[in-house]
């Protein structure tokens, strides 16, 4: 596999120097002997090691009248695997941007890895879909799956060809927004949040959605696990 060396090195060095885990946005990835190009998110541990990567699964092919036309599949190939990695703080799943719109993805992840505590995605919604869907999608995924869900966006630059919506945020298992910039802040900012697994457990005990699933009616992933 090949990434732009400077970007991969920067992420590795930043993780090592700060002693933190980094979910490093997304960068183009190619593989020796193949013509494919993927939109890939890399994950780095506090020692600067690459411990996971996610190739974006769902291509952003849209044509919104009066809004935006974008055909990602013309230059990129879709990934075909879910991405989950372990940390001392809990198991985390990641994906990229448009992947958030497909509820079956997180449902599948949680059936295979029921101990995942957070779903975190680097994202770049635009000024057509961002104002309408950015907050809504994250809160829906959080409530439906009783899990922390967050998306990190680049700051808005109105001079760019593709203008990011911005507004990085994190939603709790109850669907509350627990960390975000101020509503008017789409520029550069730092967002902090504490993820408390006990909150997730409390929500699931009080409202046991997964124990109440009716798989005899709508089926269950073969070989998958269900929350206890």
pLDDT tens-digit profile of 78-90? 999 999 999 999 9
Let me know if residue 125 belongs to a domain. yes
Domain range for 79: 5-211
- What is the Rg, in whole angstroms, of the alpha carbon atoms belonging to the chain? 18
Let me know if residue 74 belongs to a domain. yes
Residue 227 has pLDDT above 70, yes or no: no
Q: Which residues pair with 37 in a beta bridge?
A: 30
Is there a contact between 62 and 74 (Cβ–Cβ < 8 Å)? no
Structurally, the chain folds into a number of domains equal to 1
Question: Can you give the pTM of this predicted structure?
Answer: 0.88
Let me know if residue 164 belongs to a domain. yes
Let me know if residue 227 belongs to a domain. no
Is there a contact between 77 and 36 (Cβ–Cβ < 8 Å)? yes
Spell out the residues 6+ positions from residue 122 whose beta carbon is closer than 8 angstroms to its own. Answer: 23, 24, 25, 26, 41, 94, 96, 97, 151, 152, 153
Distance in angstroms (rounded) separating the CA atoms of residues 40 and 206: 37
Looking at residue 109, which CATH number applies to its domain? 3.60.110.10
Can you give the pLDDT at residue 146?
A: 96
Residue with tokens 């269900």: 226
Let me know if residue 226 belongs to a domain. no
Let me know if residue 220 belongs to a domain. no
Let me know if residue 223 belongs to a domain. no
For 162-193, what is each residue's pLDDT tens digit? 888 988 999 999 999 998 766 556 778 888 88
Let me know if residue 225 belongs to a domain. no
């Amino acid at each position: 596999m090949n990434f732009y060396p400077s970007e991969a090195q920067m992420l590795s060095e930043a993780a090592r120097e700060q002693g933190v885990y980094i979910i490093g946005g997304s960068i183009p990835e190619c593989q020796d002997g193949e013509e494919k190009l993927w939109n890939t998110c890399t994950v780095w541990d506090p020692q600067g090691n690459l411990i996971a990567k996610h190739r974006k699964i769902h291509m952003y092919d849209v044509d919104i009248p009066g809004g935006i036309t974008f055909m990602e599949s013309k230059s990129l190939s879709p990934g075909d695997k879910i991405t989950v990695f372990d940390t001392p703080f809990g198991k985390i799943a990641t994906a990229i941007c448009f992947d958030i719109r497909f509820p079956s993805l997180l449902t599948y992840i949680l059936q295979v890895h029921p101990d995942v505590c957070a779903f975190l995605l680097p994202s770049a919604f635009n000024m057509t879909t961002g104002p309408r869907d950015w907050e809504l999608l994250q809160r829906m995924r959080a409530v439906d799956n009783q899990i922390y869900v967050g998306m990190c966006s680049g700051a808005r630059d109105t001079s760019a060809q593709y203008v990011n919506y911005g507004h990085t945020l994190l939603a709790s298992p109850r669907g509350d927004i627990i960390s975000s910039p101020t509503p008017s802040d789409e520029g550069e900012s730092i967002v902090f949040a504490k993820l408390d697994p006990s909150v997730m457990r409390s929500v699931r005990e009080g409202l046991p959605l997964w124990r109440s699933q009716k798989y005899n009616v709508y089926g269950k992933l073969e070989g998958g696990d269900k929350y206890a």
